[in-house]
Structure 1
Amino acid sequence: METIDPTTGTPLATHPVMDDAAIESAVAEVDQAARTWGASSVEERAAFLTAIADSLVAQRDSLAELITSEMGKPLREARGEVDKSATTARWYADNLERLLEPRQVDVGDGAQAWVTREPIGPVLAVMPWNFPLWQVMRFVLPALGAGNTVLLKHSPNVTGCALAIESLVRDSAPAGDVPHGVLRTLVVDEPRVPEVTERLVADPRVAGVTLTGSNRAGAAVGAAAGRAVKPSVLELGGSDAFVVLSDADVPAAADAAVRARFHNAGQSCVCAKRFVVAAEVADAFVDRFLLGVAGLRVGDPTDESVDVGPMARDDLRTEIQRQVDASVVGGARLLAGGSAVEGEGWFFEPTVLTVDGPGVPAFDEETFGPLAAIVVAKDDEDAARLAGATAYGLGLSVWSASTERAVALARKVTTGAVFVNAVVASDVRVPFGGTKQSGYGRELSAEGMYAFMNQRTYWAAR
């Protein structure tokens, strides 16, 4: 399996894929580790998470460089990904005792009742390339804290990151306290991924599955989990709306909108993608937004002054070009960008379109790249209609001088999260996940840990 540097289009490394015997060995190892790790104490688990946090801090620069080399995000964004993972590890370590404390229930009649949360065993994690460390860690950390073990099937183009994560977790284990094999990476030949994944979900040793990725992959994994009667969490696509109401601080909203859309070259499920702007402030917003886009520097992501690196793969760039071209043919107006950057690597110009609403790919589809679509709303009711005119339901950002007004609009749009006067983001302290075609289940916070735990009732009569 070959990884490619998206900045130059040249090969980085070649990794041997695992045959069926190697996959079976990894599954057996993770299953065996689960028997020991599931019986570990809260103190042992918290110490392990703290050790992982320390390792992330110690390896910050090398991990960031690996992330940038394999998927192209600017180095400072890659460092932020490592920092966020370390912060999350410490939060779970610091809060683990509280999160796993048995809940006492008053049932009367002289009986005692309590509810515990107990590990379920090995969980298969199918992960994407766009945040190759963070999106793995936001599942792995609560899973290990819960006492579960992990089979990681990462995206092929970030295989180096996948193997580095396995090494980091293994080497962080305090001697004698953590069994070997609490996390194993599976390097699977890409054509075999659907078959291997389905087989693993059906394997009685695998207790559950989580996937972050495309809707097609999510549908397949969710169906496999249903057939096997196993818990699953799906974090799928997004087409988040960024709504600017007539009383918003337009300069602040526009500046935030540029960051929201073009962070990670727009390759994020939770990036703002559709900008719904009140007619009264539309001209001012567009002018300020275009000024911000014009100031973005596109180039070598190892250059600290660069804002937008290459797209992670050439086929992703081709898809963005298709969406831009088809939208323009469908009536969208091109205000900035619109083309691939000539030369080596898989760069695409930060692109801005104005659209009339649904009916063009830039509005109707998930745009996974540096493409923003702006639509004008007549009033709050129209803004809510436009924001909700999507099959997805991940996040929503609303900008207004009135929190009450923003929340009133948000209640008319179905999403997993609402951020008022702020950019939608994941944070370990609150649950993260979507609705509709954006998936189901939650990651992070207590909910992310409990998603793969058995809530067990104890009842003791006297």
Structure 2
Amino acid sequence: MTALQLKPGTSWSETYARCLRAAPEAFAADRLLNLVRGEWRAVGTPGEHTTPLDGTPIPGPPRVEMDEAQAAVAFAIQEHAAWGKQPMEERKARVAAAVEGLAEQRDLLALLLVWEIGKPWRLACADVDRALDGVRWYLEQIDRQLAGRSPLPGPVSNIASWNYPMSVQVHAELVQLLAGNAVVAKTPSQGGFHCLTLAHAVMRRAGLPVTLLSGQGGRIADALIRAEGLGALAFVGGRANGRKAATALADLNRRHFLEQEGLNTWGVWDFSDWPTLAAHLRKGFEYAKQRCTAYPRYVVQRSLFPAFLETYLGVLDGLRFGHPLAVADPADPLPELDFGPVIHATKAAELRGHFAAAVTARAVPLYVGDLAAGAFLPGQSTDAYLAPAALLDPPTSWALQHSEPFGPLDSIALVDTEAELLAAMNAGNGSLVASLATDDLAFADRIAPDLLAFKIGINKPRSRGDREEVFGGLGASWKGAFVGGDLLVRAVSYGPDGAEEKLYGNFPSYSLYPPR
């Protein structure tokens, strides 16, 4: 078998050199800069970091302390006042210029996502494209969406996860800017900071009032969440940090939308269309299930388990994983992989430990993938890679019984009654999505309202969605305003005459369940 090699022109040194040429104001030879107080500045202490692809050292996020974070937010508040007075046509022109500038850097942004967070090339390109296409839609709709509305009284603070820097974070920021708000954004500590640095360099060149800084959440959180003068908080992350953010906001009556993890499940009951399910299962492994709408838990009617198992194991055997930039011949295109590494070696080791702990507690090791089946460079580190694995009936005491693994580690529960199906599917105390595979649509209609998930798919998966579709979560998976399409604009603007309004969302004081 021919040894694989790195695709020419894609090495980290070549990629970083391209960043230096594309945005010399934001990248130094040995470090990233922070966009604070209106300029790119060499403030903060760069940390050590390695790429999950093969352990190559790369510049880490330059973490600032509280005093710099406070100064950055204070400057953003000043910029917000001027930006909100800009005519709509001027705001649209600058955002459109940023979108076109980002489109010019599309391939470099995608390559940074490959190196920083391990996305296969196709998925990295899709992340960038979805961000740009989404903002183009808002540019067409924003006059209607903002009719009679006004900006928030202060900037929107963004604290986002590492897994979708473009299609979640940058996309949201550009919509917030269209609505007349300045933006403050924190880079995720685990990855995505190079991509975000390049994106914000383009945005700043277009004349947009954006701030981008790095820092340890526990040290600068008060500046990004509680600072007087901020207008809203947009958060994407785990429940522990989301809970801290919600607690910090409790006495401020400040707008917020906090997207938190949820254990999304797929129930299988009175079902027979296994080829269709197989296609959905295969797609579900994209990016190693490192996304908020992945399905890591399957709840299966016991009598259907043989057919489900045959389908499921066939999917796992056909998964393609490995180094996203490894090719057999320099002329070959980048490989079509389902997934590369997980976000870092520590996460891979953690998931291996969870698997072993479940087996020790008498779960059945249903499938154990082999890293030898992956496509890797000779001698490269594979510490951050995890072959797909699955457990049957893990114990209720298992650490992942009520939380998402965020990796290619599935669990399967067998049930005999509808009540057991509901209980098993709702074990995570709220989620973003859930699905039912069933031939009995009357059964689906009857049981779907009792599932603690914001979106329910019948014989299909559900996704985050945007544009014309609402997105949110039920239970502990979400706090605050629901977003997507018009609702995202409403969440970052005030109603007619600057009036405060009751937003559609998942708030402590009342519960609004979304339409199915």
- Corresponding residue for 1:445? 485
1:287 Cα offset (Å): 1.0
SS in 2 for 1:133: helix
Mapping of 1:304-453 within 5 angstroms? 304-337=335-368, 344-345=381-382, 346-355=384-393, 358-428=396-466, 429-440=468-479, 441-453=481-493
Which consecutive unaligned segments of at least 5 residues does structure 2 have? 1-46, 326-333, 373-378, 500-516
2:302 is aligned with 1:269:
no
2:260 is aligned with 1:207:
no
1:267 Cα offset (Å): 1.3
Deviations 1:115-145 (A, max 9, x none): x354332111111111122220342132112
1:410 Cα offset (Å): 1.4
Mapping of 1:83-94 within 5 angstroms? 83-94=129-140
CA distance in 2, matches of 1:447, 1:223: 24
2:213 is aligned with 1:186:
yes
Deviations 1:372-423 (A, max 9, x none): 1112232444322221122232111222345443232211112121122222
Which consecutive unaligned segments of at least 5 residues does structure 1 have? 103-115
CA distance 1:344–1:3, change in 2 (3 Å): same
CA distance in 1, matches of 2:361, 2:282: 25
CA distance 1:2–1:166, change in 2 (3 Å): farther
Report percent identity of matched pairs: 25
Decide whether the 8 Å contact of 2:146 with 2:489 is kept in 1.
no
Decide whether the 8 Å contact of 1:406 with 1:420 is kept in 2.
yes
CA distance in 2, matches of 1:99, 1:167: 28
- Corresponding residue for 2:304? 281
Decide whether the 8 Å contact of 2:162 with 2:188 is kept in 1.
yes
CA distance in 2, matches of 1:423, 1:349: 23
- Corresponding residue for 1:59? 105
Partner AA of 2:487 in structure 1:
E
Partner AA of 1:265 in structure 2:
A
1:329 Cα offset (Å): 1.8
CA distance in 2, matches of 1:238, 1:44: 39
Instruction: Give 1:136's match in structure 2, choosing from 169, 191, 194.
Output: 169
CA distance in 1, matches of 2:299, 2:185: 38
- Corresponding residue for 1:223? 247
CA distance in 2, matches of 1:13, 1:58: 24
CA distance in 2, matches of 1:313, 1:121: 36
Decide whether the 8 Å contact of 1:4 with 1:10 is kept in 2.
yes
Partner AA of 2:123 in structure 1:
E
1:431 Cα offset (Å): 1.8
CA distance in 2, matches of 1:437, 1:15: 30
1:359 Cα offset (Å): 3.9
CA distance in 1, matches of 2:152, 2:231: 10
2:186 is aligned with 1:153:
yes
Partner AA of 1:51 in structure 2:
A
Partner AA of 1:301 in structure 2:
P
CA distance in 1, matches of 2:493, 2:155: 11
1:186 Cα offset (Å): 0.8
CA distance in 2, matches of 1:356, 1:69: 34
1:244 Cα offset (Å): 2.2
CA distance 1:213–1:85, change in 2 (3 Å): same
TM value normalised by structure 2: 0.79
Decide whether the 8 Å contact of 1:16 with 1:187 is kept in 2.
yes
Decide whether the 8 Å contact of 1:324 with 1:338 is kept in 2.
no
2:321 is aligned with 1:298:
yes
CA distance 1:278–1:141, change in 2 (3 Å): farther
CA distance 1:263–1:35, change in 2 (3 Å): same
CA distance 1:272–1:36, change in 2 (3 Å): same
Partner AA of 2:353 in structure 1:
R
1:78 Cα offset (Å): 0.6
Instruction: Give me the CA root mean square deviation.
Output: 2.4
TM value normalised by structure 1: 0.87
1:25 Cα offset (Å): 4.2
Instruction: Give 2:69's match in structure 1, choosing from 23, 36, 39.
Output: 23
1:252 Cα offset (Å): 1.0
CA distance in 2, matches of 1:331, 1:394: 30
CA distance in 2, matches of 1:145, 1:404: 44
